[in-house]
Amino acid sequence: MRNRDVHICPVGAAVICFRKPQDWYVTKLLRGRQQDKSITYEMHKASYEAVFKYLGLTFNKKTHINRQQGVRHLESVDVEISQTRRYGRWGMDTCNAVYAAPIAREAMRAMSRHLPRSRLYYLERASVDPTLEL
Protein backbone atom coordinates (compact mmCIF):
# COMPACT_ATOMS: atom_id res chain seq x y z
CA MET A 1 0.00 0.00 0.00
CA ARG A 2 1.36 3.42 -0.90
CA ASN A 3 1.76 6.08 1.74
CA ARG A 4 1.04 9.77 1.15
CA ASP A 5 4.19 10.67 3.11
CA VAL A 6 7.08 10.01 0.71
CA HIS A 7 9.50 9.57 3.63
CA ILE A 8 7.75 6.43 4.90
CA CYS A 9 6.20 5.02 1.69
CA PRO A 10 7.29 1.37 1.39
CA VAL A 11 6.61 1.31 -2.34
CA GLY A 12 8.38 4.55 -3.18
CA ALA A 13 11.36 3.58 -1.03
CA ALA A 14 11.95 0.47 -3.09
CA VAL A 15 12.38 2.49 -6.32
CA ILE A 16 11.10 -0.39 -8.39
CA CYS A 17 8.51 -0.21 -11.16
CA PHE A 18 5.41 -2.02 -9.88
CA ARG A 19 3.27 -1.58 -13.00
CA LYS A 20 3.43 -5.21 -14.11
CA PRO A 21 3.25 -7.89 -11.38
CA GLN A 22 5.52 -10.28 -13.26
CA ASP A 23 8.30 -7.68 -12.97
CA TRP A 24 8.39 -7.78 -9.18
CA TYR A 25 6.87 -11.06 -7.92
CA VAL A 26 10.28 -12.69 -7.61
CA THR A 27 12.04 -9.59 -6.28
CA LYS A 28 12.99 -9.87 -2.61
CA LEU A 29 13.73 -6.54 -0.95
CA LEU A 30 15.19 -8.16 2.15
CA ARG A 31 17.20 -11.04 0.82
CA GLY A 32 19.80 -13.44 2.03
CA ARG A 33 22.73 -14.70 0.02
CA GLN A 34 20.47 -15.67 -2.89
CA GLN A 35 18.50 -12.88 -4.55
CA ASP A 36 15.40 -15.00 -5.16
CA LYS A 37 15.12 -16.21 -1.54
CA SER A 38 13.66 -14.29 1.38
CA ILE A 39 15.75 -13.82 4.49
CA THR A 40 15.10 -16.24 7.32
CA TYR A 41 13.39 -15.24 10.54
CA GLU A 42 16.69 -15.67 12.36
CA MET A 43 18.48 -13.31 9.96
CA HIS A 44 15.62 -10.82 10.26
CA LYS A 45 15.83 -10.92 14.06
CA ALA A 46 19.64 -10.68 14.04
CA SER A 47 19.51 -7.55 11.86
CA TYR A 48 17.10 -5.88 14.30
CA GLU A 49 19.29 -6.89 17.24
CA ALA A 50 22.38 -5.42 15.57
CA VAL A 51 20.67 -2.09 14.92
CA PHE A 52 19.21 -1.90 18.44
CA LYS A 53 22.59 -2.75 19.98
CA TYR A 54 24.30 -0.07 17.89
CA LEU A 55 21.71 2.51 18.99
CA GLY A 56 21.78 1.37 22.62
CA LEU A 57 18.09 0.41 22.61
CA THR A 58 16.46 -2.53 24.36
CA PHE A 59 13.25 -4.20 23.21
CA ASN A 60 11.68 -7.51 24.18
CA LYS A 61 9.78 -8.18 20.96
CA LYS A 62 12.37 -7.20 18.41
CA THR A 63 10.66 -8.26 15.20
CA HIS A 64 7.28 -6.90 16.32
CA ILE A 65 8.44 -3.33 16.96
CA ASN A 66 6.91 -2.13 13.68
CA ARG A 67 3.53 -3.56 14.65
CA GLN A 68 3.55 -1.69 17.95
CA GLN A 69 4.56 1.58 16.32
CA GLY A 70 1.91 1.10 13.64
CA VAL A 71 -0.85 0.68 16.23
CA ARG A 72 0.36 3.71 18.16
CA HIS A 73 0.49 5.79 14.99
CA LEU A 74 -3.10 4.83 14.17
CA GLU A 75 -4.12 5.74 17.73
CA SER A 76 -2.46 9.14 17.42
CA VAL A 77 -4.49 9.99 14.32
CA ASP A 78 -7.74 8.85 15.98
CA VAL A 79 -8.39 5.67 14.01
CA GLU A 80 -11.03 3.58 15.78
CA ILE A 81 -9.56 0.61 17.65
CA SER A 82 -11.93 -1.72 15.79
CA GLN A 83 -10.39 -0.56 12.49
CA THR A 84 -6.89 -0.98 13.91
CA ARG A 85 -7.69 -4.54 14.98
CA ARG A 86 -9.08 -5.36 11.53
CA TYR A 87 -6.05 -3.81 9.83
CA GLY A 88 -3.61 -5.93 11.81
CA ARG A 89 -5.94 -8.94 12.11
CA TRP A 90 -5.55 -8.90 15.89
CA GLY A 91 -7.99 -9.95 18.57
CA MET A 92 -9.11 -7.34 21.10
CA ASP A 93 -6.91 -8.70 23.88
CA THR A 94 -3.79 -8.88 21.72
CA CYS A 95 -4.16 -5.39 20.30
CA ASN A 96 -4.88 -3.73 23.64
CA ALA A 97 -2.47 -5.70 25.82
CA VAL A 98 0.50 -5.93 23.48
CA TYR A 99 0.50 -3.11 20.96
CA ALA A 100 -1.70 -0.21 22.09
CA ALA A 101 -0.34 2.68 24.14
CA PRO A 102 -1.17 2.49 27.86
CA ILE A 103 -2.85 5.91 27.89
CA ALA A 104 -6.41 6.98 27.16
CA ARG A 105 -5.89 9.76 24.62
CA GLU A 106 -9.52 10.82 24.34
CA ALA A 107 -9.92 11.03 28.11
CA MET A 108 -6.70 13.00 28.48
CA ARG A 109 -7.81 15.48 25.80
CA ALA A 110 -11.25 15.86 27.37
CA MET A 111 -9.79 16.45 30.85
CA SER A 112 -7.59 19.21 29.43
CA ARG A 113 -10.69 20.78 27.83
CA HIS A 114 -9.84 19.90 24.26
CA LEU A 115 -12.18 18.06 21.91
CA PRO A 116 -11.68 14.36 22.66
CA ARG A 117 -11.72 13.22 19.01
CA SER A 118 -9.77 16.05 17.42
CA ARG A 119 -6.10 16.65 16.82
CA LEU A 120 -6.83 20.32 16.13
CA TYR A 121 -6.03 21.91 19.45
CA TYR A 122 -3.62 24.50 20.76
CA LEU A 123 -2.60 25.99 24.07
CA GLU A 124 -3.57 29.64 24.37
CA ARG A 125 -0.61 30.38 26.62
CA ALA A 126 1.68 29.36 23.78
CA SER A 127 0.58 32.46 21.88
CA VAL A 128 1.60 34.89 24.65
CA ASP A 129 5.06 36.45 24.47
CA PRO A 130 6.67 36.67 27.93
CA THR A 131 7.99 40.01 29.13
CA LEU A 132 11.73 40.66 29.11
CA GLU A 133 11.79 40.77 32.94
CA LEU A 134 11.02 37.06 33.02
pLDDT at 120 over 80: no
Output the furthest CA–CA distance in the chain (Å, rounded): 69
Residue 109 exposed, middle or buried by CB count within 10 Å (0-12, 13-18, 19+): middle
Query: How far is Cα 98 from Cα 83, in angstroms, rounded to an integer?
Result: 16
pLDDT band at 5 (very low <50, low <70, confident <90, very high): confident
The domain ranges of the chain are 1-30, 59-116
Lowest-pLDDT range of 40-44, 63-67, 102-106, 116-120: 116-120
